Structure 1
Amino acid sequence: MSEGTLPLLETEGGRFGIKKPQQRYDLQGDMPDAERVETAMRHFVRDFGAVAATYMESCIHCGICAEACPFYVQTGDPKYSPIWKIEPFKQAYKREVGPFAIFMRALNLKRKVTLKELEDWQELIFDSCTTCGRCTLICPMGIDIASLVGLARHGMHKAGLVPHELWATAERGEREGSPLGATPDVFADRVEWMGDENDVEMHMNLDQADVLVTLSSIEIQKYPQAIAHMAKLLNHMGMSWTFRTDGYEATNFGLLSGNADWQKDMSMKLINAAIACKAQLLLLPECGHAYSAMRWSGANIYGKPLPFKVRHISEFLGEHIADGSIRVKQGLNTTVTYHDPCQVARRGGAIEAPRVVLQALGAEIHEMKENRGMNWCCGGGGGVYSNHRADPLRYKAFQIKMRQVEETEADMLLTSCSNCRITFDDGQAHFHWDKTAHSLLEAVVDNLAD
């Protein structure tokens, strides 16, 4: 069975195996309308700390963030302005806990948010926001709008107001251990299959290893060669490493759906597995939101500093190519453009490592006009790809990415995020485009020196 025979996670059962509803089922639970609103607002208020409150008070309504958002740029619709996406969140703050809240309530200067507004708001924080952070980077007041959207999703989840497919995917992750059906048994089978097919030694469930290797559901189900690539790389380096069936799934749909409890459960599986095998390093796969969930939130979830390092695979490649422990040939003799994944580059700061890798491989790099921290999002992150109803809007946003790539006139497109890759694959099929996004890890493994 070759990789090309695998489905694009888009089957008769629906995207990610979640059946598309005949009508919109975007309410979870049976609570009365008034209770939904009250629950959402209560949890909005609960998430207000000093930092969020400062953000709420800092906006000068300049509108600069709008031009940073692909959904606004492609539609021209002011409702897609990033700062407008947190308006109900802002209303809750001003009415309930802001410095003038008592007057706002007494004089009814800030009316209560309605259920209809919250239902409509789903589109703004779940369908038309990838939490890419481009608006955050450009805001002259330093407002982290992307983080505020993430906090707002917490309240929406508590009120049962998450888009159906996103909620169902996250719930499956909590129930089965993987949002896309890559259960421990499925994962073990795929590891064995990739080991046999590629004649590579696999290390599974070792009691002790220096490196715990994790993967994303998209890689396991759609791009399983990533399993072999990880094994080949670490074997080449002579490292002590392992996959573990009690901690392998790096994708965290709890984070994307706004369910903090599910987010913690998914993260703790990796943390506990790394501790169990005494790992010194938890190696994250080509997945942007896996990087955000563990690299920058893992210690907060654990409640103390993690007893191991956390690195994205692109950081790992750049570091060890630079120190000579990964030896590569200059075999990538072509023009290459690199798509910076938002959560890895802009939100995470891992910007130069991929370029170290590409230079070592002998690539002629054609940078996109907007690159590194200011690169445009592919439009599918933040759970947006999960929501069928977001497809028309997402395709509009993707057209920016297409123009960026084409303007470079590069022969090859590389990235280090499987979620970006599947968004590119989907956009390629939708627009009958002739560009394919390839894996940075794959490029390295294909050019390992003997």
Structure 2
Amino acid sequence: MSATVVNDPVGGAARGVPRPDLRQDMQGEMPAQERVDIAMRHFVRDFGAVAATYMESCVHCGMCAEACHFYVQTGDPKYTPIWKIEPFKQAYKREAGPFALFMRALGLKRKVTIEELQEWQELIYDSCTMCGRCTLICPMGIDIAALVSLARHGMHKAGLVPHELWAAAERGEREGSPLGATPKVLKERIEWIADEDDVDIHLDKEHADVLVTMSSIEIQKYPQAMAAVAKVLNHLGMSWTIRSDGYEATNFGLLSGNADWQRDMSMKMIKAAIACKAKLLLLPECGHAYTAMRWQGANVYGQPLPFKVRHISEFLGEHIADGSLRLKKGLNKTVTFHDPCQVARRGGVFEAPRVVLAALGAEVHEMKDNRSMNWCCGGGGGVISIHRADAIRYKAFEIKMRQVEDTGAEMLVTSCSNCRLSFDDSQAHFHWDKTAHSLLEAVADNLDDTLPARSVAPAAIVNPYREAPAP
């Protein structure tokens, strides 16, 4: 990535963040004004009563700025979270707000230009992980992260998505996996890892109680996750399978703003679960996969899902709590846990990972900001895939790096493979000596086989931590 540091006394460059060369990515061939019209039309189309209430509720207090890792690390006002949805807000006020007719007639609200949309592409995609920390801190309850997600829908329709993110989403739609983990690759990886770890990994069983899904990051970079989940489920004596017709949980349709591709990816898993009569769809260590299926899956399906959906950390915590999963206290060391934003802050899963760590004998040293107030690793929302965002992503990561160091913990653990990827990449960039480890893999390495596991049917699973809807 080429970058130029400019004289910017209040902005990112003054804080050591080089500004990337302007690189507005576009898909398709259409005139500039047509792109603007399409984007604004879809911005307006996505307004509902809730979004309209959000638009009218902002009191410009600036609290969301101090909650955003990109703003805190750069001091640049343009990274204030509520500013990231300004074109969305302009479309609302001109086209759908209570005074829209009046404002248009008097020209009080000018039209958004293509140049502004191109500039906002960086704000909506490169410098927002949709982590929800701004949402949590907003005194008016504005879900800024959800509004950014809606704004991405309009940007996608206008062909204004960063090319790396668009390419991954398009590949996911075309091949079934955004990172090339096709059914053929999946089968080859399973055969290899099953042989290497001497573990039975069930593929394409006709009927199973549990459908296991994977993240393409795990399949391609962290394949030990496949062995780990197999060891745990075999230890519990469960009937389970991975299905080659619905295994990919990573949803780049959600991240890019393509609602149709998001639906297609989710429906593959839903159909596979129904086909094998699964009682439980088990999601991998992936935050946005959790959002896409646990909280949006029923909307995609059009009715309540005929099976339960659990993130792997929830599943592990539940089975430790009910006594069916017994572990050795193999982590006899100090550990700090990184809460993945989508699973913890957006999904409410705070205590399950800590139940797991306690069962492993870990002494948990919490970061200063943890659970709902956890700072994002900077790589979520597809940001880690956008090369021009590297400089600001690394700058944002410095918060997390400092907080991990301040705990003095010997080991860092998380339950999201995308977070692990962000940690690994930043570890290499900063020559840092901390490695993020998988919660699931720690469990698989410390199964207690001295006592037989007490099997529990998935239909009996209840969440002892939270059954309330996600915020």
- TM-score normalised to the size of structure 1? 0.95
Deviation at 1:273, TM superposition (A): 0.2
Deviation at 1:331, TM superposition (A): 1.4
Contact map agreement 1:211 1:280 (CA 8 A) in 2: yes
Specify the code of the residue in structure 1 equivalent to 2:170: E
Give the equivalent residue in structure 1 for 2:94: 95
Measured against aligned partners, the alpha-carbon deviations of 1:295-345 in whole angstroms (never above 9, x if no partner) come to: 000000000000000000000000001111111011110000000000000
Contact map agreement 2:24 2:119 (CA 8 A) in 1: no
Give the equivalent residue in structure 1 for 2:219: 220
* Runs of 4+ more than 6 Å apart: none
Q: Structure 2 CA distance, aligned partners of 1:36 and 1:104?
A: 23
Q: Structure 2 CA distance, aligned partners of 1:161 and 1:39?
A: 11
1:342-353 to structure 2, matched below 5 A, reads 342-353=341-352
Give the equivalent residue in structure 2 for 1:278: 277
Deviation at 1:24, TM superposition (A): 3.9
Contact map agreement 1:368 1:407 (CA 8 A) in 2: yes
Q: Structure 2 CA distance, aligned partners of 1:25 and 1:180?
A: 23
Contact map agreement 1:340 1:375 (CA 8 A) in 2: yes
Q: Structure 2 CA distance, aligned partners of 1:141 and 1:278?
A: 43
Measured against aligned partners, the alpha-carbon deviations of 1:351-401 in whole angstroms (never above 9, x if no partner) come to: 110000011111000000000000000000000001000000000000000
Give the equivalent residue in structure 2 for 1:388: 387
Q: Structure 1 CA distance, aligned partners of 2:61 and 2:270?
A: 42
Q: Structure 2 CA distance, aligned partners of 1:352 and 1:103?
A: 51
Specify the code of the residue in structure 2 equivalent to 1:63: G
Contact map agreement 2:24 2:121 (CA 8 A) in 1: no
Give the equivalent residue in structure 2 for 1:431: 430
1:340 matches 2:339: yes
Give the equivalent residue in structure 2 for 1:82: 81
Distance 1:25 1:53, change over 3 A: closer
Give the equivalent residue in structure 2 for 1:6: none
Deviation at 1:23, TM superposition (A): 9.0
1:370 matches 2:365: no
Specify the code of the residue in structure 1 equivalent to 2:124: I
Measured against aligned partners, the alpha-carbon deviations of 1:20-42 in whole angstroms (never above 9, x if no partner) come to: xx994611010111100000000
Give the equivalent residue in structure 2 for 1:46: 45
Give the equivalent residue in structure 1 for 2:143: 144
Determine what percentage of the aligned residue pairs are the same residue.
Answer: 81
Specify the code of the residue in structure 2 equivalent to 1:99: P
Contact map agreement 2:24 2:118 (CA 8 A) in 1: no
Give the equivalent residue in structure 1 for 2:378: 379
Give the equivalent residue in structure 2 for 1:174: 173
Q: Structure 1 CA distance, aligned partners of 2:313 and 2:150?
A: 28
Q: Structure 1 CA distance, aligned partners of 2:149 and 2:436?
A: 28
- TM-score normalised to the size of structure 2? 0.90
Secondary structure in structure 1 of the residue aligned to 2:211: strand
Specify the code of the residue in structure 2 equivalent to 1:343: Q
Measured against aligned partners, the alpha-carbon deviations of 1:96-141 in whole angstroms (never above 9, x if no partner) come to: 0000001110111110000000000011010000000000000000
Q: Structure 2 CA distance, aligned partners of 1:110 and 1:358?
A: 54
Measured against aligned partners, the alpha-carbon deviations of 1:158-202 in whole angstroms (never above 9, x if no partner) come to: 000001110011101111100000000000110111110000011
Specify the code of the residue in structure 2 equivalent to 1:145: I
Specify the code of the residue in structure 2 equivalent to 1:71: F
Specify the code of the residue in structure 1 equivalent to 2:363: E
Structure 2 gaps of 5+ residues are: 1-20, 450-471
Contact map agreement 1:68 1:135 (CA 8 A) in 2: yes
Contact map agreement 2:24 2:160 (CA 8 A) in 1: no
Distance 1:23 1:92, change over 3 A: closer
Q: Structure 1 CA distance, aligned partners of 2:434 and 2:358?
A: 22
1:99-248 to structure 2, matched below 5 A, reads 99-248=98-247
Specify the code of the residue in structure 1 equivalent to 2:198: D
Secondary structure in structure 2 of the residue aligned to 1:400: helix
Secondary structure in structure 2 of the residue aligned to 1:149: helix
Give the equivalent residue in structure 2 for 1:402: 401
Q: Structure 2 CA distance, aligned partners of 1:163 and 1:110?
A: 28
Distance 1:113 1:23, change over 3 A: closer
Secondary structure in structure 2 of the residue aligned to 1:329: coil
Give the equivalent residue in structure 2 for 1:269: 268
Contact map agreement 1:122 1:162 (CA 8 A) in 2: yes
Question: Greater shift after overlay, 125-134 or 321-330?
Answer: 321-330
Q: Structure 1 CA distance, aligned partners of 2:200 and 2:146?
A: 41
Contact map agreement 1:342 1:375 (CA 8 A) in 2: yes
Contact map agreement 1:257 1:383 (CA 8 A) in 2: yes
Give the equivalent residue in structure 2 for 1:322: 321
Measured against aligned partners, the alpha-carbon deviations of 1:29-73 in whole angstroms (never above 9, x if no partner) come to: 101111000000000000000000000000000000000000000
Contact map agreement 1:24 1:164 (CA 8 A) in 2: no
1:73 matches 2:76: no
Q: Structure 2 CA distance, aligned partners of 1:329 and 1:148?
A: 44
Q: Structure 2 CA distance, aligned partners of 1:104 and 1:208?
A: 60
Q: Structure 1 CA distance, aligned partners of 2:330 and 2:198?
A: 22
Q: Structure 2 CA distance, aligned partners of 1:361 and 1:165?
A: 39
Q: Structure 2 CA distance, aligned partners of 1:439 and 1:408?
A: 18
Q: Structure 1 CA distance, aligned partners of 2:185 and 2:179?
A: 11
Specify the code of the residue in structure 2 equivalent to 1:356: V
Q: Structure 1 CA distance, aligned partners of 2:140 and 2:325?
A: 42
RMSD of the alignment, in Å?
Answer: 0.9
Give the equivalent residue in structure 2 for 1:252: 251
Q: Structure 2 CA distance, aligned partners of 1:368 and 1:207?
A: 45
Q: Structure 1 CA distance, aligned partners of 2:349 and 2:398?
A: 25
State the number of aligned residues: 429
Structure 1 gaps of 5+ residues are: 1-21
Specify the code of the residue in structure 1 equivalent to 2:419: C
Q: Structure 2 CA distance, aligned partners of 1:199 and 1:167?
A: 38
